[in-house]
Every structure is written in structure tokens, then in C-alpha cells.
Structure 1
Amino acid sequence: MKKIFFFLLFLFFLPGLNKTAHASEEPLTDSAQESLLDSIDLQEIEDTLRELSAVESFSFRDAVASFLKGETPFTLEEIGLLCRKLLFSELSRQKQLAFQVILLVIASAVFSNFVKIFENSQIADIGFYMIYLLISTLLLQAFVSMNEIVGEAFSALLSFMKVLLPSYLLTIVFSSGTVAALGFYEATLFGMFLLETAMMKIMIPAVNYYLVLLILNQLSKEDYFSKLAELLELLISWGIKTVMGVVIGLQTVQCLIAPAVDSMQNSVLHRLAKSIPGIGNAFDAVSETVTGSAVILKNAVGVAGMLAVLAICLLPVLKLLVSVLLFRFLCAVIQPVCEKRMVECIGSISRGSYLLMKILLSGVAVFLISLAMITAALKG
């Protein structure tokens, strides 16, 4: 496919080639980039991003066009304003939950101190369990919403990668060859399968069991489930590292082997074409220009894809970050006036949210590193 594309472009540019062709090299490069960009269908990517991304101002095609011109589609000030807006919006959304938890904790502290006057431990225990169950219900509702946020974020990532792959693979074929494109396609599909299977169907449910163990462990004054919870947390952390290691390792192998194979094939083709009397040098000049333009386009699409991944996951990550910090802050505030088990219950939600955030960030990192590696490794 790449050979046919080079030949058609050569026929298109051949009438304009003459002894002063080197003086018009820049317009030729721009024309080749525009021709390559027009040959890629980015509309489906745009439509998908409108549905999935919280960053409404981000346009994939505009980002690619900006990178082709050597510009950046955003500024650090714009990123800071966007993050600040989303962060304060999430804080205002969760302040009601924090207020309810603080009220229940204050009620628990007042009730427990009042019961001590009558020296009746059974009444104190009953009051503790009632308020503990109320707080646990509120916190579990919040955690269920966090679960949904992570699940929706993973689904959005997978949906975006499915529409990005065809266009990005086409740029890889233009710039490097079919071997590299096929290798990247296989490695990325395997990474998507691992994320969908290991992360969404195994690790996220495991975090739910982990949270249940932490909450049940605080119902009694004895420590029954803490070691089991620690074991489950360790297995989840190992699972995250294993998935990342497997996917990144596979991409590394592909980036070391596939570009070398394509480079050898392209080198043979260029030498044969250059040896043709009369038009060999002209064909070689055009093919080098087109290959360079294709590499620039591939890099632009790859970096724009990385930005799109960040745009999709920015809001979910900020929501989880706010939850982790909010519940940690609540633990610090109520610890002087509240029973230890109540503090540990609220802290368990923070620990569970932190694990969910690690799972989501690892999924984002897998796609970002994969796109970065393939963008940097293939140089035409």
C-alpha cells in the first residue's frame, strides 16, 4: 500500500519537477502533508470525543493541524484554568456528603459521652452500631458512584482507541510500513483486552471486596479481617504492575523489531527506484519528501491521541482525587472527637478510592506510553 501511495504521489508531483525543484521543497512538503491529512478520516474521532470528553473545546483535527504547523493547541494557563474549574466544581458537588458525615460523627460523639453518665455499655454499643451503619451507607453510596466513574472512564478509553487505531495505523503505513503497523495493532489490541479483562472485570470488583473487609473489620473491637484486606491490596497492586509490564514489554519488543524490518524493505525499494535512468533521482526526492511528511503527520496524530486520552480521563481522575483528599481530611478533622473505629471506617473509603485511582491511572499510562513509544520509535 505504501509503495502504491508513493507511486501515485510521484506521478502527481512529476510534472513540477525540474532543475529548480530544490527551491520549491517547502511547498511540496506542505502539499504532501495536506494530501496525507485529507486521506485520513478524523470525523469519527471527533464525534467520539464530543461524547466522551469533558473538555468541550478540544478538537482532534485542530490539534493535529496545529502540530503540523509546529504550534501547540493549548497553553499552560488554559490547562490550569480548566483543572481549577473542574476541581472546584467537584468539591462543591461533594461538600454535602462531607457535611452529612460530620453531622453524624458529632451526633455519635455527643451520644457516646451522654451514655457514659448511665454506665450502660449496651446502650452505647447500640448507638454506635446505628450511627456506624448510617455512615457506612452514605460512604458506600459514594463509593458505588466512584466505581461507576472508573468503569465509564475505561469504557470511554476503549471506545476512543477503537476509533483512533484505524487512522493512526494508516499514518504508520505511510511513514514506516505494514510490518510496524501490524505489530502496533496487535500489541494495542492485546493491551485493550487485558485492560478490559484484568482491570474492569477482576481488579475493580476486588477493590469492592477490599472495602467490604475494611468496613466489616471495624464492626468489632477485635481485629479479624485486616490481614486479609492487606493481602487483597497487595494482589491488586501486583496485578496493576503486571498488566502494565506485559503491555509495555510487548510494545517495546514491537518497537525494536518491526521498524527495522520496514526500514530494510524501504531501503531496498528506494535503491531500486533510484537506479532507474532519468527519473530515479526525481522519484527518490519525492519519496523522501513524502516519507518525511508522513512521519510528521504520524507524530502529530500520535501526540493528539495522547492529548485526547488525557482529556477523556481528566475529569474522572480529578473526581477520584477529590474523594481521596476529602475523606482523608475528614479523618483528620474528626479523629480528636470520634471513636477510632469510626475514623477507620471513613479512612477505608479513602483507601478504596485511592486504589480505584491507581487502577484508572495505570490504564491511562498504558495507552499514553504505548502511543509515545510507537510515535518515537518509527522514524520512517
Structure 2
Amino acid sequence: MKKIFILLILVLLIPAPWVLADEIEEQIKNLDLKEIDDFIREFNREYGNFFPLSDFEDMVRSLRENRNIDFKSLFGGILRYVFREISANYKLLVKLITLSLICAVLKNLHHGFEKDNIGRMAHSVVLFVLIIIALQSFTIALETGKGAINRMVSFVQALMPTVFTLLAAVGGVASVRVFSPLIFIGITAASTWIKDIILPVIFFISVLSLVNNITDSFHVSQLTHLLRQLCVFLMGLFLSVFLGVMVIQGATAATVDGITIRTAKFASKNFVPIVGGIFSDALDAVVGYSLILKNAVGLIGLLILFLITLFPVVKILSIIFIYRLSAAIIQPVGENTIVKCLNDIGNSLTLIFISVASVAMMFFIAIAIVLVSGNLSMVLR
């Protein structure tokens, strides 16, 4: 009788892998991925010519089936986008160099005559036109940075409910309670802090830098230097505090989850003989599959977040390159005022790049901490 009972249990357990595999497929289909897929379609409309993405469910399934990401196509798309942006900004380079040469000629003309008011006025007009063009391109970079931050925030808000659902499915209830408010408070704070405070301050810095360079009576170079340092310090402080709280709270929550599940497994095995052990082992298998799915969803989410950040950052870097190249070409002509203006604009654009990269890094590390927390609770159990 005992042998028959053991044989019956073995027969019941044999189809378990297929049942669990079907269960995980069903779990994928039951996930609410509409917002994420809408986001992917929007990404494909803008950047699909360079690196198109399939829908989220297909990407998760590809990762589970160990199908490799086409990195060759990814790098090729990035290079094509870089060349497109540099080509698009070629006209800006020509305008900056042409106006700088005109400024240099006019400056030499009115220096050659003591009372050449017309030459001095023409030089000032051309200089102001050049500054307006510089501010227009700077505004484009600023709007690109704001748009990138908005897209990152929208994507993380769409992704995290799915990740939290799967984290709870693997027993990370305490982790969900800790991370859910932290992530969404951090998202709101980061978007408000960077978009509404840091980026306007950067624009103000660029205007002050231009005014400082074109006038002899109004000097604010130390103020602009102080504001630049303050922006970098505040971004670093916000990033450090947020991620520090995430790490400490996440480690604590993962420990609580691990101990809780371990206690429940011990109780079921010892207080419910035979059936409790079978139930505990089956639960481990289901949780293991859910953990794989959670990690797959998280990794695909990190890849999409990387691509969301990459293309706007490349656009900003291409504009920075144009300004640096213009300053290098113009410097031999001897128009130091314009060279300083272009360098200061390049420095302000670099601050925009740092701002966008900081937000991306914060979200990237935060998602990674959530994923690691779920894995840590599994280890501790």
C-alpha cells in the first residue's frame, strides 16, 4: 500500500514541469502590458528606423527562450542616428563659423579706425544674431532633455506595477510595501527637481555666461561657476540619498520576506506531514518560475529604459560636439569673445547631459535594486 501511494505521488509530479511551463505562459498573458506596449509603439514611431522593438510579451518570451539580442543591429542603429544628428546640425556649424568670421572682420575694421561707429554697431548686431542662434539650439537641447525625462518617468510608471506584481508573487510582500511608495515618490521628486528647478537654472547660467562675455561692465563669471557647481552637487546629493534609502530599505525588506517564507515552509513541512512537504516543494517550483519571469520582465525593462535615454543623449552630445568644434575652428581667427561664448554654451549643454544621465542612472539602479531584492529573498528562504 505504501509503495502504491509513493508511486501515485510520483505519477502526479511527473507532468509538473509542463504544467508549470503552461502556468508561466498563462501568467505572461495575464500581465497588464497595454501601457508598456503603447510606449513601445511610440518609441518605434520615433526611433524604429534605427532599432525597432517588438511588443513586450515577445521580448520577455525571447529572453526566456535564450534568444540573443541583436547587438550588431543595435550598434548599427546607434551609429546611423549619430551620423544623422551630426548631419542635421551641420547647418548650425556653418552658421556659427560664418557669423564668427564676419564678427572677426568687422572687429578688425572698427579697430582700424578710431571713430568707426558703423563698424562697431555692425559687429554688435552680428554678435547678437550669433547669440540668438546659440540660444535657439540650446533651447532645443533643453526641450530634448525634458522630453527624455518625461518619457523615462512615463515608462517606469508603466513598468513598475508589473514588476511589483511579480515580486509579490515570489513572496516579496514586504519589499513591495517598501519599494512601491519609494519608487513613485522618487519618480515624482526626480522629474520635478530636474525639470522644474535644475534645467531652468542651467538655462539661466547659459544666459549669464553670454552676458558676461559680451559686456565689459557686467562680470558674473564667479556666479555662473558657483551655480554650475551647485547644480552638480544637488544632483549628486539627490541621487545618493534616494539610492541609499533604496538599498537600506530593500535589504531589510528582502530579509523579512526571506525569513517569513522560510518560517512558513518550516511550519508546513513539520506540522502537515507528507502533504505539507509536497505543497512546499510545489510552491518552490512555482515561485522559481515566477522569479524567472520577474527577472526577464525587469531586464527587458532596463533595456528599453537604456534605449529611451540613449537616443536623446546622443542628440544632446551631437550639439555639444558642434559647439566644441566651432570654438576650436574659430579660435585661430582671434575672436575670443565668441570662443568663450561657444565654450560656455557647451558647458551648459554638458550640464543638461549630466541631468538626463543622472535621472536615467537613478531609475536604472532603482529597478536593479528591486530585482536583486526579490532574488535576495529567494536566497534567504
Question: TM-score, length-normalised on structure 2?
Answer: 0.90
- The answer on whether the counterparts of 2:106 and 2:120 sit within 8 Å (CA) in structure 1 is no
In the alignment, which residue of structure 1 is the partner of 2:165? 170
In the alignment, which residue of structure 1 is the partner of 2:189? 194
In the alignment, which residue of structure 1 is the partner of 2:336? 340
Residue 123 of structure 1: CA displacement? 4.4
> Letter of the aligned partner of 2:366 in structure 1?
S
> Letter of the aligned partner of 1:48 in structure 2?
F
Q: Does 1:274 align with 2:269?
A: yes
In the alignment, which residue of structure 2 is the partner of 1:247? 242
CA RMSD of aligned residues (A): 2.0
The 1:94–1:17 alpha-carbon spacing in structure 2 relative to 1, beyond 3 Å, is farther
In the alignment, which residue of structure 2 is the partner of 1:353? 349
Aligned-partner SS, 1:330:
helix
Aligned-partner SS, 1:71:
coil
List gaps (5 residues or longer) in structure 1.
1-15
Q: Which whole-Å CA distance do the structure 1 matches of 2:269 and 2:115 have between them?
A: 97
Q: Which whole-Å CA distance do the structure 1 matches of 2:8 and 2:317 have between them?
A: 58
Q: Which whole-Å CA distance do the structure 2 matches of 1:113 and 1:119 have between them?
A: 11
Residue 306 of structure 1: CA displacement? 0.7
- Residues 274-302 of structure 1, C-alpha deviations (whole Å, 9 max, x = no match): 23234223212210111111111111111
After superposition, residues 208-219 of structure 1 pair within 5 angstroms as: 208-219=203-214
The correspondence for 2:29, drawn from 24, 33, 38, is 38
Of 239-248 and 34-43, the range deviating more from structure 2:
34-43
Identity of aligned residues (%): 25
- Residues 316-374 of structure 1, C-alpha deviations (whole Å, 9 max, x = no match): 10100101111001100010004111111111221111000000000000010011122
Q: Does 1:287 align with 2:283?
A: yes
In the alignment, which residue of structure 2 is the partner of 1:115? 110
Aligned-partner SS, 1:181:
helix
Residue 272 of structure 1: CA displacement? 2.6
Q: Which whole-Å CA distance do the structure 1 matches of 2:281 and 2:192 have between them?
A: 48
Aligned-partner SS, 1:19:
helix
Residue 70 of structure 1: CA displacement? 2.7
Residue 211 of structure 1: CA displacement? 0.3
In the alignment, which residue of structure 2 is the partner of 1:9? none
- The answer on whether the counterparts of 2:212 and 2:219 sit within 8 Å (CA) in structure 1 is yes
After superposition, residues 1-380 of structure 1 pair within 5 angstroms as: 18-20=9-11, 24=15, 26-52=17-43, 54-56=46-48, 57-59=52-54, 60-72=56-68, 74-120=69-115, 122-221=117-216, 224-275=219-270, 276-379=272-375, 380=378
- The answer on whether the counterparts of 1:217 and 1:226 sit within 8 Å (CA) in structure 2 is yes
Residue 122 of structure 1: CA displacement? 4.3
Residue 234 of structure 1: CA displacement? 0.7
List gaps (5 residues or longer) in structure 2.
1-6
The 1:55–1:23 alpha-carbon spacing in structure 2 relative to 1, beyond 3 Å, is farther
Q: Which whole-Å CA distance do the structure 2 matches of 1:344 and 1:289 have between them?
A: 64
Aligned-partner SS, 1:336:
helix
Q: Which whole-Å CA distance do the structure 1 matches of 2:136 and 2:63 have between them?
A: 43
> Letter of the aligned partner of 2:221 in structure 1?
S
In the alignment, which residue of structure 2 is the partner of 1:5? none
Q: Which whole-Å CA distance do the structure 1 matches of 2:108 and 2:229 have between them?
A: 38
Q: Which whole-Å CA distance do the structure 2 matches of 1:29 and 1:92 have between them?
A: 52
